[in-house]
Structure 1
Amino acid sequence: MGSNRVIFFIFNSVHLLDLAGAVTVFYESGCCGKNYNIHYVSPYDNPGTSSGLGFTNVSPLNSVKVTMDDIVIVAGMEIEKWNRADDHLWIPWLQSAAAIGATISSICTAAFALAAAGILNGHNCTTHWAWTTALQQKYPLLKVIENKLFVQSGRIFTSAGIATGIDLALYLVEEQHGAAFACLVAKDMVVYIRRDGMEAQNSIYLQSRQHINHHIHQIQDYITKHLQHKITIGELAELAFVSERNLTRLFKSVTGITIGQYIQSLRQEKARHLLKTKQKVAWVAKECGYNSTAQLRKLVKEAKN
């Protein structure tokens, strides 16, 4: 792919986070030194979100001619409000974009739009876990893969939705600019890793954030952003304005694991991912906060057992 253009296709009743998460990745990429030319298109003059927010700076579909180097991302929408009477307004445009060889991506329920346009026929794909069965039943020519963050089939990508749109966008950035740069963008967004599409729709990062304690979320964000450095309980306790003892007790009570286990698990998961990208072991060790490559290899090996 040689283009730096990303075209976001917006349906009416689009889910805001499905759109905003992926947009932010390409925006932050520009902040980190690799610019993307971001366009917003829609078959509607003033599309609105499922949460009631409206858009004005959106171009009509026929004003943007898609090339094979473009990335087209269709954000998920509220299926119950998706007006299929308007198929003729957008299906030819999307089919043309796919036919010309552009990278076509869907986030969450937008997989239904790709399926309706026939773009997913014969392809592996995914969508949000709550909709995988419905997608497979409605479109039997697809092969719906369950419990995956995102699925690639040629130049067609489908993601599970919500935050997984971020993972997919980071993957597309990594394709163009490499794992080290994608890591930089992820850190800017306080996302500790670009999760791999082959992983399940959960991870140690998400599993340990299923709580509502704001202070512990702040601590987890800090750990995520400083994973490459030595992190002490003392500095974390200062951040939360509590004693080390109280922080240790509180962290385990809301996450189920100790601070040390949490840091080590994040480092192992991130290291396993980065090693799969064929980066140099020394760089991976430094990026994940290991003192040496030997320590990295030992801990990753232990995590497999």
Structure 2
Amino acid sequence: MIARVQPIDLLFIVAPNSLLLDVAGPAEAFRLANVHREARGLPPRFRLRFAGPTAGVSTSVGLSLSGLEVLPSRLNTPTWVVVAGQPSTHSGKVTPAITAITQWLDRMLAKPLASEDTAHRLLTICSGALLAARAGLLTDRRCTTHHELLHALRKLAPDAQVIDNRVFVVDGSVASSAGITAGIDLALHLVAEECGEALAASVAHDMVVYLRRSQRDPELSPFLVNRGHLHAAVHRVQDAIGAEPDRDWDMAALATIAHVTERHLLRLFVEHAGVSPLRYLQSFRLERARQSLERGASVTQAAEVAGFRSGLQLRRAWSRQWGGSPRDAARAV
């Protein structure tokens, strides 16, 4: 945790058609951090500001925001510039407003971000990474964005290390998040760094965030990644596994749920989910075990919750899937 004499300015850069939750979600997390600090007798850590190329803009949901600051000519205090994203229908268009923002980002942040001891930071939410890339601020940086925009980000920032399937990525003074709600995860991570894990947990509780994700977590949950299909029988089996992962499932029991033969179920799963039923079951159990470990469970407890017969079986499955051992994951928390 860093001791600061003055609050950090959080300067949200809001372009026309910005995704409203890209602004409101992280902003609310930082606001609540101040509320919890006040309850503890501490001064506010964050000062929220909102600026744009014009005084008013329309957002992605049609709601207009007014009273935006003009883009400042200099950053006089420690400032975290938060660049909100736009829907994919707008993120590829270089309008005069987008040009004004990218030129301002280059002018304000190129030199400060090149210094290791800078007091300033750049945070991008969803497609906000594309604006940072256009400003040349992601060169030689690890970064991410929404999974649908990774190719576009690689084209705009060919010298960046664009990381797939991550909730957010922090590389020194530059942090980027994958999508709309991932901006909240990034904000909570930064609140924890500045104000402590206990306070960040209180903010997450207030926001009814079920599980605060870390930068180790994939953008697409393993619970959802094999479910982008429309086959009812396969979904029935996946629902049954999700409801009772600790049940002693075998192909016969899964086929009964689907009302098909075992051989036909295998064909359906491979065609529609991209994995076999038993591989899906194991991946589901491993992810459940991983989350249990991050919440403080022992390897034996995590194995039982996830449906493995023993800690040894969990260790063997973990090693085949990811390498290493569950104990390594538990120690990394």
Q: Normalising by the residue count of structure 1, what TM-score does the alignment of the two structures yield?
A: 0.69
Q: Which of 112, 116, 123 is the equivalent residue of 2:141?
A: 123
- Measured after TM superposition, the shift of residue 138 of structure 1 is 3.4
What's the offset of the Cα at 1:46?
A: 0.7
Residue in 1 that maps onto 2:157: 139
> Counterpart in 1 of 2:26?
22
Q: Deviations over 1:159-206 (max 9, x none)?
A: 101110011001111110122221111111111332111211134787
SS at match of 1:40: strand
Q: Deviations over 1:54-89 (max 9, x none)?
A: 1013111126x4256221111111354344334552
Q: Could you tell me which residue of structure 2 aligns to residue 187 of structure 1?
A: 205
Alignment of 1:74 with 2:83, yes or no, is: yes
CA distance in 1, matches of 2:292, 2:109: 35
1:33 lines up with 2:37 in the alignment: yes
Tell which structure's C-alpha radius of gyration is larger: 2
Residue 144 of structure 2 contacts residue 150 of structure 2 at CA under 8 Å; is this kept in 1? Answer: yes
Whether contact under 8 Å (2:18, 2:84) holds in the other structure is yes
Partner of 1:213: none
Secondary structure of the structure 2 residue equivalent to 1:50: coil
SS at match of 2:78: coil
Query: Alignment partner of 1:256: what SS?
Result: helix
Give the corresponding residue for 1:94. Answer: 105
Mapped partners of 1:73, 1:148: distance in 2? 19
- Change in CA separation of 1:22 and 1:138 when aligned onto 2, cut-off 3 Å: same
Task: Report if the CA contact (8 A) 1:98-1:104 is conserved.
Answer: no
> Which residues of 2 match residues 41-60 of structure 1 at below 5 A?
41-60=51-70
The 3 A distance-change label for structure 1 pair 57 and 298 is farther
- State how far apart, in whole Å, the 2-side matches of 1:255 and 1:50 are: 37
Mark the runs of 5 or more structure 1 residues left unpaired by the alignment.
211-251, 273-283, 286-294
CA RMSD between the two structures: 3.2
Evaluate the alpha carbon distance shift between residue 181 and residue 205 of structure 1 in structure 2; reply closer, same or farther with a 3 A threshold: farther
Q: Give the drift of 1:158.
A: 0.9
Q: Tell me if the contact between 1:9 and 1:42 (Cα under 8 Å) persists in the aligned partners.
A: yes
Contact kept in structure 1, 2:15 and 2:97, CA below 8 Å: no
Contact 1:170 1:186 in 2 (8 A): yes
Of 131-140 and 79-88, deviating more is 79-88
Q: What amino acid sits opposite 1:97 in the alignment?
A: L
CA positional deviation for 1:259:
9.7
Question: Does the CA contact (< 8 Å) of 1:68 and 1:103 recur in 2?
Answer: no
Go from structure 1 to structure 2 and tell me whether the alpha carbon gap of 1:87 and 1:116 turns closer, same or farther (over 3 Å shift). same
Cα distance change of structure 1 residues 260 and 66 upon mapping to structure 2, 3 Å threshold: farther
Question: Does the aligned pair in 2 maintain the 1:50–1:77 contact within 8 Å?
Answer: yes
Match of residue 276 from structure 1: none
Give distance in 2, aligned partners of 1:38 and 1:134. 30
- Are positions 1:256 and 2:242 aligned together? yes
Native 8 Å contact 1:193 1:270 kept in 2: no
State the shift of 1:256 in Å.
Answer: 2.7
The answer to whether the Cα contact below 8 Å between 2:11 and 2:82 also exists between their aligned partners in 1 is yes
Distance (Å, rounded) in 2 between the aligned partners of 1:270 and 1:203: 15
TM-score, normalization: structure 2?
A: 0.63
Task: Name the CA distance, whole Å, in 1 between partners of 2:99 and 2:19.
Answer: 22
The Cα offsets for residues 194-248 of structure 1, whole Å up to 9 and x where unpaired, read as 21112111347878x99xxxxxxxxxxxxxxxxxxxxxxxxxxxxxxxxxxxxxx
